[in-house]
A and B are shown apart, each in its own frame.
Chain A
Amino acid sequence: MNPVVARPAPSFGEVIADRHVRGELVVQPRMGFDDPAQMRQGLLATRDATAATVGTITLDSYTRVGDHRAVRLALAAGTVLNGYPIVDRGPGTTTAMLDGVLTPQFPVQVRHGSADPRRIVATMLDCGLYATEGGPVSYCLPYSQMPLSVAVDNWRQCCETLAAVRGPDCEPHLETFGGCMMGQLCPPAMLVALSVLEGMFFWQYGLRCISFSYAQQAHAGQDEEAVAALRKLIARYTPYARAHVVIYAYMGVYPRTPGGAMRLLAQSARLAARTGASRLIVKTAAEAYRLPTVSENVTALEHAAAAARGVTESGGQVEDTGIYQQAKALVDNVLSLDDDLGRALVAAFSRGQLDVPFCLHPDNPGRVRGYLDRDGRLLWQRIGALPIGDLVELPSAERITSADLLSALRYIELKFDNREYSYDGNS
């Protein structure tokens, strides 16, 4: 028998790195239930799945926007929420829910989507949870009406709160959501640049264990190029961080057939494996209709892990269509605006030098557009004031119609469901 030796629990980043060295892709659900018993059952089922997994507690959207009155009313009325209300459940309930669930090899990440996660971060630390995700840009522009400068300040405070608990036994982890902006139709260079910039922001405010996200788009080759660019920029701009790349299975309109959903998920797992990413956030076949069940999540985790098994890293042999140069130009320009990265990000958006297509936030300039070409490559249609004019070729300007937008949004859904696009509004 091994003697019991007290040693610090490995950090989220160390657990992922250990799995990566062993050739295992860590798969993770998006799971969140309002009921503590169900949340616990979901975490245990994730842990026991036939796959290398880490756990997720996804919070409900009232907690995300800080509407705690609505949470309490819903809990009192027994109304089902769309996630776990960690702040209003309180540390006692959550600690009991997690008792015997957390192990050194099974950390749990809190996922929320909040532009002001200060109470969420304080609460999760009280519950013994040290990993979360988001970012000052990626959880403000698409998901709130809060001024970007306010979100930047909130996120600075959260980074400092997380950094303050760093110690020999504790290494908090923060993941950028910048590589997932809008889920679809944001050209890869902008996703890569925002992911890198948010990771640098985390580093500036004291985080040392950081993951960088990238969401699968509509063309496998282009995605491989984007992740290669992301890895190169991480090495360049945060060389001393314990860093890994996390891939998100396609976040746009999902195939509605189980077969199509599974094929798309398998493709995202192979993307992660080929690009040397360490972790994959999966999606379930049920998500096109409703919140998935625990067993649907486990099925997705096991399917993704199986699809990644035996797929080898492509070793940097990817096409270069300029994503690295565009992303680097976007990052370098932001860094030139101000010594403080938070102020630099705000300045870049106000000048239109960062700009997210189709994003309705008042602080987003809204002068750029992305489009899908015939093969599913996500390209720039308009670049507004982005400092990449010498790096991209633009198509002859065309006005986008609602039917064009719908067909771009549904490209992956229809491709993986093996259906032709038809605009009758009823398909």
Chain B
Amino acid sequence: MTLDVVVTSVSSDAHTWNLVYLQLLLEELGCQVTNLGGCTLDETVVAECAARNPDLIVVSSLNGHGGKDGIRLIGAIRSCGALAATPVVIGGKLDVTGGDGGRTTARLLAAGFDAVFGETGWQTEFRSLVQALAVGTGVPTRAR
């Protein structure tokens, strides 16, 4: 099936090349993409996603605040009833210390993301996640 995917940044992050790239990649994987762009406010992301009811929300951030902003954003997303179970993943440069020894990932998963991707080497796992969603098997456990 064709997945409806929302691609977005977080409120403090203006990087957008990552978002352009993800849009092209997702379109090549057969998805229909709504790209919300950079510096998206939490309420904008929640409103746009609630209106579209996407199959997947992809958050990407490179400015080092993605860990903090992401935790706040996923809280807002999960507290919207329509989006409580929507698959939401985040990736990029999510803190200013280079991963904080895995703690940033752990915090983001605990806060409600379905998967957290690092800066490099994420493509294979990301593709399989998208393909698994497209055939209706849900988020693969390996990605969690």
> Taking the complex as formed, is A391 at the interface, i.e. its CB lies under 8 A from any CB of chain B?
no
Contact A360 B24 (CB under 8 A): no
Interface stretch, picked from B61-69, B76-84, B105-113, is B61-69
Contact A361 B37 (CB under 8 A): yes
> Taking the complex as formed, is A74 at the interface, i.e. its CB lies under 8 A from any CB of chain B?
yes
**Known interface pairs A74-B68, A80-B96, A426-B121; A65-B12 also in contact (CB < 8 Å):** yes
Contact B24 A405 (CB under 8 A): yes
Main SS class of interface, B? loop
Contact A82 B63 (CB under 8 A): yes
> Taking the complex as formed, is A290 at the interface, i.e. its CB lies under 8 A from any CB of chain B?
yes
Shortest beta-carbon distance, B136 to chain A, in Å? 24
**Known interface pairs A65-B39, A145-B37; A426-B28 also in contact (CB < 8 Å):** no
Shortest beta-carbon distance, B127 to chain A, in Å? 9
Contact B41 A145 (CB under 8 A): yes
**Known interface pairs A62-B12, A358-B17, A425-B121; A145-B39 also in contact (CB < 8 Å):** yes
> Taking the complex as formed, is A79 at the interface, i.e. its CB lies under 8 A from any CB of chain B?
yes
Which residues 56-104 of B sit at the A interface, judged by CB distance below 8 A? 63-65, 68, 93, 96-98
Residues from chain B with Cβ under 8 Å of A80 in the complex: 96-97
Main SS class of interface, A? loop
Shortest beta-carbon distance, A315 to chain B, in Å? 36
Shortest beta-carbon distance, A14 to chain B, in Å? 32
**Known interface pairs A360-B35, A401-B28; A145-B21 also in contact (CB < 8 Å):** no
Bound complex: CA A275 to CA B83 (Å)? 54
For B10, the closest partner residue in chain A by CB is A61
Bound complex: CA A45 to CA B14 (Å)? 29
> Taking the complex as formed, is B54 at the interface, i.e. its CB lies under 8 A from any CB of chain A?
no
Residues from chain A with Cβ under 8 Å of B65 in the complex: 61-62, 82
Which residues 35-49 of B sit at the A interface, judged by CB distance below 8 A? 35, 37-41, 44
For A357, the closest partner residue in chain B by CB is B20
Residues from chain A with Cβ under 8 Å of B44 in the complex: 145
Contact A65 B28 (CB under 8 A): no
**Known interface pairs A61-B13, A61-B65, A82-B64; A358-B20 also in contact (CB < 8 Å):** yes
Which residues 1-22 of B sit at the A interface, judged by CB distance below 8 A? 11-14, 16-17, 19-21
**Known interface pairs A67-B12, A405-B24; A145-B63 also in contact (CB < 8 Å):** no
Which residues 328-380 of A sit at the B interface, judged by CB distance below 8 A? 358-362
- For this complex, 19 residue pairs linking A to B, each with C-beta atoms less than 8 Å apart, are A61-B13, A61-B14, A62-B12, A62-B65, A65-B11, A65-B12, A65-B39, A74-B68, A80-B96, A142-B16, A143-B39, A291-B96, A360-B20, A360-B38, A362-B37, A402-B21, A402-B28, A405-B21, A409-B17
Which residues of A are interface residues toward B (Cβ below 8 A)? 61-62, 64-65, 67, 70, 74, 79-80, 82, 113, 142-145, 182-184, 289-291, 358-362, 400-402, 405-406, 409, 425-426
Known contacts A425-B121, A426-B121; can you find 9 more A-B pairs with CB under 8 A? A65-B12, A113-B14, A142-B16, A145-B38, A290-B64, A291-B64, A360-B16, A360-B19, A409-B21
